Amino acid sequence: MASRNTRILEAAARVIARRGVRGLRVEELAAEAGVSTGLIYYHFKDRTGILRHTLEFINDRAERYTTVRDADAPPLGPREELEQILLLELQDSAEVRENSAAWGELRASAVFDSALREDLARATLVWVQEVAALLGQVRPMAPAAKLAAAAERLTALLEGLSMRWLSGGLGIDHARTLMRGGVEAELSGLESR
């Protein structure tokens, strides 16, 4: 059953990335996942349930591909870990492209959907807190409010760079260079009081 849910959520992420939230049709989702529409409604109740679970799915998937490391690789320092987690959101793989495009579509739809807006706000808060914690490991003497503000700016920068890269307005190498510059600027800002 879990593999069926995963198949449905993978298909939902693909359809949302390709057609947007407004273009998500349960019949098309069922065909993409190779299941019946009744099964989708059974597991997810309604369209809002599909969107909420898809948001969780893409967050979990991003967590996996940004934290995966070779077991034999030496441990990263806090700064390297921070950069790696952010830069792995800018890698040219089908999974990252799909995840980033689906995230952007969900974010855009949240402008008009208050339930989705609340779910995205919670997911974004968790992401900002994770980045703030990593910044705090690099700059342990920085005040919590400054760490949170820096994390907000970095995650917003990453979302903007990702959308520009995905839409062809920016090359991936340049996007990654700009992200590294953003990390450097935020860390420098946390040094000074």
Share of the chain above pLDDT 90, in %: 89
**pLDDT digit string (tens) for 91-108?**
999 999 999 999 999 999
CB atoms within 10 A of CB 123: 18
**pLDDT digit string (tens) for 53-66?**
999 999 999 999 99
Residue with tokens 């593999």: 3
Helices (H), 34-93: 37-44, 47-67, 78-87
Q: What is the pLDDT of residue 71?
A: 84
Q: What three-state secondary structure class fits 105? A: helix
* Residues with Cβ within 8 Å of residue 145, at least 6 apart in sequence: none
Instruction: Give the Cα separation of 38 and 43 in Å (integer).
Output: 9
The per-residue pLDDT of the chain, averaged, comes to 94
Query: For residues 171 and 192, which has the higher predicted lDDT (pLDDT)?
Result: 171
